[in-house]
A and B are shown apart, each in its own frame.
Chain A
Amino acid sequence: MKKFIGLSLAALLITSMLATAALAGATLTIESWRNDDSDIWTDTIIPAFNKKHPDIKVVFAPMPPAEYNAGLNAKLAGGTAGDLITCRPFDASLELFNKGYLVALDDLKGMDEFSDVAKSAWQTDDGKSTFSVPMASVIHGFIYNKEAFKELGLSVPTTEAEFFTVLDKIKADGTYIPLSMGTADQWEAATMGFQNIGPNYWKGEEGRKALIAGTAKLTDKPYTNTWAQLAKWAPYMGKGFKAQKYPDSQNLFTLGRAAIYPAGSWDITTFNTQADFEFGAFPPPLPAGATKGYISDHTDIALGLNAGSKNQEAAKTFLAWMTTAEFAELYANALPGFFPLSSHKVSLKDPVAQEFVNWRNTHESTIRNSYQILSRGTPNLENQLWNVSAKVINATMTPEEAAKETQAGLEKWYKPQQ
């Protein structure tokens, strides 16, 4: 009897192992930091893919954004990471490729749908291998409460002088907090502040490339002027902004307590579900004397293939599908504020997202200046920008000190700046 039970248990074990092995052949797991998008992937994107490829099961397995890089690296090192890896732009992913965790995807069907600029964030420095399928970029600007503007009789500012007139009027009225931003999380100050309005000062790509080439310094006028502008925001920010975190800023705006929100286009999705008033967007106002506007149109997210994946073929099928117009249309409309990078013509149903993307016709696009190459060493430029931008707004540092500190950091390890 005992023997029989033992045998049947063993048989059961073997059959269950075989069963999982068969299933595993067609299950793709996607690693991602976009836990906000979980529903969209499982309800919209994956079912659309399964209509064409019912035999491939896809699981979206996100982590909280702040834990993603650390968690992913640990998983890759331990060999337990998913088949498809959502890739941050530039060095974080380049290092994964150099260590052999990601597969080169140059031969993937549909890769020619992406421009060189779109691919540049997920390429080796020489541009020879591309290792991710670019998914989307995000654009910075300001989102404003249309009803509040109407109520106070304000018009959308196009220059910095107008911007501060508007802020003054909102402050004088007292119903709304003029600017909804905090410095507690630090990145808001750098990303929504510095990288948002800065391109107008350093002339977008021109200034960004000059920094990389070493022909411009962070102590130059464009950078100190950007920080000087940021410092002027503080009186218009909410009471206690030093302890205000990113979700607080979002909530202040969606609850209708703040009039203007320095934004990333990804906020549109959150605001659509939470704000019950109409909101619009305007690009960073032009500094005095400027005629041409620049926007941060940052290549932000892509999908790569784990070299250790056992489902290479299925994963490539999925990645090839991601280069199609169908995916671009689906993704752009499911996640208004993430703008596809492929050359397909996509019509956006969300009016605010459309406003953002229209700026591509009237403004010059650039990416965040700390992302390519300049955050490779220690100290890390991106982290430094967070720190000094928050301090400039908190008035514990002057714009000149901020410039001096970041430039010194860059000179410490970056040859062209030495």
Chain B
Amino acid sequence: MGASGGKLSRFPHHVWVFLAPATIIYTLFMIYPLLDSIRLSLYTTDGTGAYHFTGLANYITLITDPQWSDAFWNALKNNFIFFCVHMLVQNPIGIMLAALLSLPKLTGRTTYRTLIFMPTMLSVVIIGFIWQLILSPLWGVSESLLTFIGLADWFQPWLGQEGTALLTLSLISVWQFVGIPMMLIYAALLNIPEDLTEGAIIDGANHWEIFWHIKLPLILPTIAMVSILTFVANFNAFDLIYSVKGALAGPDFSTDIMGTLFYRTFFGFQLQLGNPTMGATVATMMFGVILVGVLFYLFVLQRKLRRYAL
């Protein structure tokens, strides 16, 4: 004990000073509100605004009462579609763009990089507005562009139809955020030492083979990270749908995702009064979905990934 006590006394106590700001701020502004909103979801309000503890009643209502559960499952389903479109379109395109950008003989590399990254830096409200104008059946250019290439019959009011609105919004979001996977993967590609690719060329591999057999395995950890970032961002998404379709996420809730459902529930909408406790319940469910996804990544995917020391 004596010897180890001596070691303990040399514990660098000043680390607390360095840890304190982040810990305090994070606890105060992230952990406490999170726990408090979970607590709020266990309560219910009456007409006078007083809160009563109800246990898990809100969750049971949300999942079993058709009035709530229809909206909830619909939002969850739409959110998965939203996420799948990003995974299937945004990330492959991001990888492809990054691979093209990292080709050794490419002129105008920085120009492309800047242009593709540009939409990511614009406000979602502006993106929503621009695309609404482009796709507008009244003033938009998309119809004349389609007419120009002889596809006028293909034009539809995509943002206004139940079958196409969610897909259109997902693709708008993909267009905006494709720069992020591109940049992250581009950075990972740049980290791959040239000896590896040069060695492969000497061994007779072409660019295609180099990409599939050397570069892709090396950037897999980055792709996994991009995927989990996409997952978290998509299940927290709200702004694009709200700015284009409003909180009612029409037509007929076909673009309703967890974020808009939460907003409507918590803050109310038009004559519908806000319901803070049900809103907190929806928010906690969102947190739960994201938590399950992230845990799956941490404990299943990440452990299977092979990392190569370069």
In the complex, what's the smallest C-beta–C-beta distance from A138 to chain B, in angstroms? 15
Indicate with 1 or 0, residue by residue over A390-401, a CB within 8 angstroms of chain B CB atoms: 110010100000
A396 to B248, Cβ gap below 8 A?
no
- Provide a sorted-by-A list of 30 A–B residue pairs whose CB atoms are within 8 angstroms: A69-B267, A70-B263, A70-B267, A73-B274, A74-B267, A88-B271, A92-B271, A98-B47, A182-B160, A183-B160, A184-B159, A184-B160, A184-B251, A239-B138, A240-B137, A241-B157, A243-B159, A243-B160, A243-B161, A244-B160, A378-B67, A378-B275, A380-B272, A383-B269, A387-B250, A387-B252, A387-B253, A390-B251, A396-B251, A412-B67
Indicate with 1 or 0, residue by residue over A362-389, a CB within 8 angstroms of chain B CB atoms: 0000000011000100111111001100
Instruction: Give 8 closest A-B pairs by Cβ, nearest first.
Output: A240-B137, A242-B160, A243-B160, A243-B157, A70-B267, A240-B157, A380-B272, A375-B271
In the complex, what's the smallest C-beta–C-beta distance from A211 to chain B, in angstroms? 15
Identify the interface centre among B47, B159, B250, B275: most chain A CB within 10 Å of its CB.
B250
- B44 interface residue (CB < 8 Å to A): no
Task: Give the docked Cα–Cα distance between A371 and B272 (Å).
Answer: 10
Task: Give the docked Cα–Cα distance between A418 and B272 (Å).
Answer: 21
Task: Give the docked Cα–Cα distance between A412 and B70 (Å).
Answer: 15
Number of A-B contacts (CB under 8 A): 119
A185 to B246, Cβ gap below 8 A?
yes
Task: Give the docked Cα–Cα distance between A73 and B273 (Å).
Answer: 10
A396 to B137, Cβ gap below 8 A?
no
In the complex, what's the smallest C-beta–C-beta distance from A339 to chain B, in angstroms? 22
- A299 interface residue (CB < 8 Å to B): no
Indicate with 1 or 0, residue by residue over B220-256, a CB within 8 angstroms of chain A CB atoms: 0000000000000000000000000111101111000
Chain B residues lying within 8 Å of A380, measured Cβ to Cβ, are 269-272
A248 to B138, Cβ gap below 8 A?
yes
- A328 interface residue (CB < 8 Å to B): no
The listed residue (B49, B246, B271, B273) touching A370 by CB distance below 8 A is: B271
In the complex, what's the smallest C-beta–C-beta distance from B22 to chain A, in angstroms? 27
Contact residue range for chain A? Answer: 35 or more
The listed residue (B47, B49, B251, B270) touching A187 by CB distance below 8 A is: B270
- B209 interface residue (CB < 8 Å to A): no
Chain A residues lying within 8 Å of B67, measured Cβ to Cβ, are 378-379, 409, 412
B251 to A375, Cβ gap below 8 A?
no
Considering only residues 229-255 of chain A, those with a C-beta below 8 Å from chain B are 238-245, 248, 251-252
Considering only residues 253-279 of chain B, those with a C-beta below 8 Å from chain A are 253, 263, 267-275
